[in-house]
Structure 1
Amino acid sequence: MTNHILIVEDDQRLCQFLASELQLEGYEVTTAEDGMSALEKVRESSPDLIILDWMLPKISGLDVCLRLRKTGITSPIILLTAKDEIPDRVLGLNSGADDYLTKPFSIEELLARINARLRHLHFPEKSDILQFADLTLNSLTREVFRGKDSIELTAKEFDLLQYFLKHPRQVLTRNQIIEYVWDFDFIGESNIIEVYIRALRLKLETNQSPRLIHTVRGVGYVLKNLV
């Protein structure tokens, strides 16, 4: 089955180049030049993956991400941008993007990230429901509950929690987390994992719920119940 990829890019030369390369790789490709057109084409064609420029006419790539996720569109989104600071990466990922690629980039790296995202798409997890203690995660509906309380998570927070739930009581290193959740290594020393762990803990520990994600100093993190 041929995968369908939507490219949303207002730079016509770059858009044509990407479309040609992806078609050579065997993908079906649709293009859009602005945010409004992107939303329309997603509704019309339901692409398997979306390559989305951050800076777009009419509606920004971030707003496109937010609108798609709010309407239940779960297609993987790779965000393209010249913004390369950590706060920009966090903002992009929290808006619903699954991956983040800074310009200029190599076509080989983009293809590798596309392949990684489509692998997750075509080889779903054996179990759709993951549970630990009073924590429940539904991989299909992307719902999370702590007891009877629903917990709203960003796309990356959900992916991070899902990874912990797949490996309960196992100490996960920073490198393992980055490889699974982000599919690539950040350059240099980044506190991106700490930022997401802190945000996840705040949401999971409301109503004085006991901590489940614990720090293993000098190694990584572990999901375990100390009670």
Structure 2
Amino acid sequence: MAEDVASRLRELGHQVEVVGNGREGLAAAFADAYDVLIVDRMLPELDGLTLVSRLRKDDVSTPVLFLTTLSGIDDRVEGLEAGGDDYLVKPFAPAELIARVNALGRRAKLGAAETVLRVADLEIDLVKRTVVRGGQKIDLQPREFQLLEFLMRHAGEVVTRTMLLENVWDFHFDPQTNIVETHISRLRSKVDRDFPGMLIQTVRGAGYLMREP
């Protein structure tokens, strides 16, 4: 299957490398700059979840598409929480795979256009993967970083729960969990709690708003 996917992508002009197990994949992802990684969850030697989790812990932000037979909602949540950007279940239509790869590639290029975002005294560097408020460095988990980036890109706008599910977790369905609320709470505890003025505000019945206090 890997060779078939690679062949289809090459026909469309993509440069593709294929590795046979998770350990080789991890080494390759650290060694070279890729636009997109396609990762099977059920890999020999090192499973896909662990592979992606290690990449995110070391601030490798390359977009990841999980390709897997595990189709349950819990499986999807687990994959996205590990740092995946998209999740495609086997069997799949080749056209859908190609469309998703292209979308992730475009997202990576768009993100590179603007590398530093600022709201009041909060600054996020998308290249260095750093967050600073009032001169104080703030450590965020990969998903918290993505959530903050989305809020800052939409500063001054009301962002709905659905928008966050689709753009931060890539959920196009409601997982029926409090995943958004939990992450917003964690993010607030890091970027707002010990600083003057709340940047992340709740708009009752609508969503969230990031703006200068």
- Number of equivalenced pairs: 213
- Cα pair distance change 1:115/1:35, threshold 3 Å: same
- CA distance in structure 1 between the aligned counterparts of 2:156 and 2:119, rounded to whole angstroms: 10
State yes or no: 1:149 paired with 2:149.
Answer: no
The answer for the alignment partner of 1:107 in structure 2 is 94
The answer for the alignment partner of 1:38 in structure 2 is 25
The answer for the alignment partner of 2:44 in structure 1 is 57
State yes or no: 1:175 paired with 2:162.
Answer: yes
User: In the TM superposition, what is the alpha-carbon distance from 1:195 to its structure 2 partner?
Assistant: 3.3
5 Å-filtered alignment, 1:61-140, equals: 61-124=48-111, 126-140=113-127
The answer for the alignment partner of 2:3 in structure 1 is 16
User: In the TM superposition, what is the alpha-carbon distance from 1:209 to its structure 2 partner?
Assistant: 5.5
- Cα pair distance change 1:213/1:89, threshold 3 Å: farther
**If the length of structure 1 is used for normalisation, what is the TM-score?**
0.79
C-alpha contact 1:130 1:165 (8 A) present in aligned 2: yes
- CA distance in structure 2 between the aligned counterparts of 1:87 and 1:199, rounded to whole angstroms: 21
- CA distance in structure 1 between the aligned counterparts of 2:137 and 2:76, rounded to whole angstroms: 27
C-alpha contact 1:94 1:154 (8 A) present in aligned 2: no
- Cα pair distance change 1:86/1:212, threshold 3 Å: farther
Further displaced range: 147-156 or 52-61: 147-156
- CA distance in structure 1 between the aligned counterparts of 2:130 and 2:62, rounded to whole angstroms: 16
User: In the TM superposition, what is the alpha-carbon distance from 1:137 to its structure 2 partner?
Assistant: 0.6
C-alpha contact 2:118 2:152 (8 A) present in aligned 1: yes
- Cα pair distance change 1:210/1:60, threshold 3 Å: farther
Percent identity over the alignment? 38
* SS in structure 2 at match of 1:123: helix
**If the length of structure 2 is used for normalisation, what is the TM-score?**
0.83
- Cα pair distance change 1:132/1:214, threshold 3 Å: same
Q: Which AA in structure 2 matches 1:223?
A: M
Q: Which AA in structure 2 matches 1:81?
A: T
* SS in structure 2 at match of 1:169: coil
- CA distance in structure 2 between the aligned counterparts of 1:122 and 1:224, rounded to whole angstroms: 26
- Cα pair distance change 1:209/1:98, threshold 3 Å: farther
User: In the TM superposition, what is the alpha-carbon distance from 1:220 to its structure 2 partner?
Assistant: 1.7
- CA distance in structure 1 between the aligned counterparts of 2:10 and 2:113, rounded to whole angstroms: 31
User: In the TM superposition, what is the alpha-carbon distance from 1:65 to its structure 2 partner?
Assistant: 1.3
Q: Which AA in structure 2 matches 1:16?
A: E
Q: Which AA in structure 1 matches 2:161?
A: R
